[in-house]
Amino acid sequence: MPYKIFGTMKKQHVVFLFAFFYFLVHSCKSDDFSIGSEDFNSSIRSVFIDTCTVTFSMVKSDSFVTSGLTTGWLGSYHDKYTGTLTATPYFTFSLPSYTAYEKTFFDSVVLYVKCLNDYFGDTALIQSFRVYELDDNIETDKNDNLYSTNSFARKTKELANYKFKPQPYKKKYLSVKLSDDLGKDMLDKFMSESDEVSDDTKFSNYFKGLVLVPDVSKSNNVVNIEVSDTSVSMIIYYHRYEDKKKNETINISLNSSLFFTHIDHDKTGTNIEKLNSQYGELSSLLTNNEVYLQSMTSTTVRIDFPYIKNLKQLGDYIHINSAILYLKPLKNSYPFLSPLPENIYLSYIDESDYKSDQVAFKLSRDLYFNDLNTNYSVSITDLIKNQINAMSIDKLRINLNLKKDGSQRDLKRLVLGDFYNEKAKAYVEIQLSIYNDEN
């Protein structure tokens, strides 16, 4: 009966491995083993195998923290592999410093948001979003965190409808002119020194913040925005008269501690439509032999080697010399506007999904212009050695992520083939030495 772990061996050559032979003899605590004696006849082979069964699955967590970061996201993007991702940022603001004057004249109120040079999607298209005032105060959990699934009620009146064209690799400020009604009311409160703006708490109850809602039907890109009290602000422009006209401003800065991004992920019509935290893991056998890795939707990939212990049946003693894992991105899944990630990372987790203390490994990209040999590779020699002799309760799995620290803070996504994908086959190359006692 053939082993499920491997098929035909591509290479098999017999060599005398004296160093390994010496190791085997001295590691066996038996006096019966002696070189050249009648009691000891042996054969040692070096074998190359690249058909070990590798299984792939995907998991998705409920949510992830999007507060307390230095960046946020804005926009909506549809991807045929992973569905539609929509990023909606929420802003709250701090009580500004100002001088109250008796007679002032309102000019305008403008929201400024600094976009960074990171993006995802088609930036040749115009992005559109609407601005609304919040109707509820933003409140964190007991750990002072806000998550990708959090949302807060907004008022029905639209403060602005803004369109812009993202500029890749260039930082840019969005200048969004807001409703005059909002600006006039705020200026009146400040100039009259109203009780509603007398301290931070009262101000946050009076003006709870803003939310930027992307137009899903008209946008197909997501941009990265900088989060700080200088990169996001509302400025009220007004003037007054003394001897002559004097232009004045009130700068209302972002309260970055309460900033967060709400993430919607609509998987309708995709291979991963059933993927959610309640469903558990989704095998690549149900997703056209493909897996999808995307940090921003908290989608990660798990890799297992279910029949690796069958290697022990090849001989009396097995020594793994090397094991290299190769992963191939699906051809044409990374157009110019959505390039391949430079690196992906792996860590080891146990059966209960507890991440081990192993250091995450960096997988290097071997990218060729003709696209045929594009792959990521990494040594998993220690893992294979461990799993051949491990008890079932000690079973380790590979967890893939696009960020080394495992955080969900990346706009990129990656489509990989599994073991059965003919166009982007994943595989493991194992070189091992087999020792047989012929007594």
Segment among 21-25, 64-68, 343-347, 385-389 with least mean pLDDT:
21-25
* Number of other CB atoms surrounding residue 128 within 10 Å: 18
**Closest CA relative to residue 425, chosen from 350, 326, 346, 332:** 326
The structural domains of the chain, with segments of one domain joined by +, span 11-61+277-437, 71-266
Tell me the mean pLDDT in the region 400-411: 72
CB burial class (10 A; 0-12, 13-18, 19+) of residue 41? exposed
Distance CA 274, CA 276 (A): 6
3-state class (DSSP) for residue 99: coil
Measured distance CA(110)–CA(160) in Å, rounded: 10
Q: How far is CA 48 from the centre of its chain?
A: 35
Residue-wise pLDDT for 100-157, tens only, equals: 999 999 999 999 999 988 888 887 889 999 999 999 999 999 999 999 999 999 999 9
Length of the chain: 439
pLDDT winner (highest mean) among 28-32, 330-334, 405-409, 429-433 = 429-433
CB 166 within 8 A of CB 221: yes
Q: How far apart are CA 411 and CA 297, in angstroms?
A: 9
Using CA atoms of 335, 337, 342, 348 in order, give the dihedral in degrees to the nearest 10. Answer: -80
Residues with Cβ within 8 Å of 314's Cβ and at least 6 positions away in sequence, in order, are: 47, 432, 434
Residues 174 and 365: their CA atoms lie apart, in Å, by: 35
DSSP annotation of 281: -
Per-residue pLDDT tens over the stretch 290-345? 999 988 888 889 999 988 888 888 888 889 999 999 999 998 888 766 678 878 88
SS3 assignment, position 410: coil
pLDDT at residue 407, rounded to an integer: 62
Amino acid at 185: D
Q: Which pLDDT belongs to residue 98? A: 95
107: amino acid identity, one letter: D
The H or E element that residue 20 is part of is helix 18-27
Asked if pLDDT for residue 403 goes beyond 70, the answer is yes
State how far the Cα of 187 lies from the Cα of 97, in Å rounded to an integer. Answer: 12
pTM of the entire structure? 0.82
- Residue 109 and residue 9: Cα distance in Å, rounded? 72
CB 64 within 8 A of CB 149: no
Q: Is 398 exposed, middle or buried (CB count within 10 Å of its CB: 0-12, 13-18, 19+)?
A: buried
The pLDDT of residue 439: 61
92 SS3 class? coil
Predicted pLDDT at 33:
34
